[in-house]
């Protein structure tokens, strides 16, 4: 019985540690120039690769940039964003309605307020939007791809990988932001990194060490109450 109690306490501590790490994670939009070591990057990817997948497919492949490649790629992507139409490998949502629209708006308003942009300032909002393609100053960006033949199942599998990447990074004190907007220019990314057509560009993760003084890092989004998420059926 004593050993069982010890095991239960250990498991409880592990859960609390995981929960605490996850609660600290947020979408960082301002970074220091300090780089992440190759060892840390490899360890983060190794943990993320433990994500469960359909039939153990493990469809992800990851391209990670280091300076100065990150800055050169950012200039290339920013130029494309200013002059070409988006063409993602995956279609955007048909619409954001109801609570999804509300959450999206609140998040946007929080960001604009944090960086001092008025809701009616279209120029300021557009300039802030373009920071996506500069990776918010992050020294690294990871491009995640999956096999085209796996379609939505590959995308679902990569979702687990992406989530674990951000949590593993947070455990090392490394900040992240997942960016679907970057993949809106899939042809540009594919051409720049010579990614074959057989790979679908899933998302980008910009990462590095947070700049605690950057105003964009001064807000946090809320999460829906658990009662809005779960339905337990017991009969």
Question: In this predicted model, what pLDDT tens digit does every residue of 106-137 receive, in sequence order?
Answer: 999 999 999 999 988 999 999 999 999 999 99
Q: What domains can be seen in the chain, in order of their start residue?
A: 29-92+133-215 (3.40.109.10)
Identify whether 132 is preceded by a cis peptide bond (ω within 30 of 0): no
Q: Return the pLDDT at 10.
A: 58
Query: Phi/psi zone of residue 173: left (φ > 0), alpha (ψ -120 to 50 degrees), beta?
Result: left
Alpha-carbon span 47 to 171, nearest angstrom = 11
Q: Are 189 and 17 in contact (CB under 8 A)?
A: no
Alpha-carbon span 186 to 199, nearest angstrom = 11
**pLDDT tens for residues 196-233?**
999 999 999 999 999 999 999 999 999 999 999 999 99
Query: Is the Cα torsion angle 224, 96, 111, 78 positive or negative in sign?
Result: positive
What is the pTM (predicted TM-score) of this model?
0.93
């Amino acid at each position: 019985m004593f050993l069982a109690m010890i095991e239960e306490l250990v498991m409880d501590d592990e859960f609390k540690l995981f929960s605490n790490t996850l609660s600290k994670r947020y979408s960082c939009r301002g970074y220091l120039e300090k780089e992440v070591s190759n060892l840390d990057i490899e360890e983060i990817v190794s943990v993320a690769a433990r994500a469960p997948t359909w039939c153990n497919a493990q469809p992800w492949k990851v391209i990670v940039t280091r300076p100065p490649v990150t800055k050169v790629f950012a200039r290339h992507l920013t130029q494309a964003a200013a002059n070409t139409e988006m063409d993602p490998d995956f279609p955007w949502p048909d619409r954001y309605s109801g609570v999804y629209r509300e959450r999206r708006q609140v998040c946007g308003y929080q960001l604009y307020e944090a960086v001092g942009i008025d809701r009616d300032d279209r120029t300021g909002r557009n300039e802030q939007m373009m920071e996506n393609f500069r990776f918010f100053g992050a020294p690294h960006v990871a491009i995640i791809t999956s096999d085209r033949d796996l379609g939505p199942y590959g995308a679902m599998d990569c979702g687990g990988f992406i989530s674990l990447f951000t949590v593993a990074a947070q455990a090392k004190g490394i900040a992240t932001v997942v960016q679907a907007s970057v993949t809106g220019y899939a042809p540009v990314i594919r051409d720049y990194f010579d990614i074959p057509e057989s790979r679908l560009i899933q998302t980008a993760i910009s990462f590095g060490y947070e700049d605690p003084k950057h105003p964009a890092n001064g807000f946090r989004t809320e999460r829906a109450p658990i009662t809005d998420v779960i339905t337990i059926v017991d009969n």
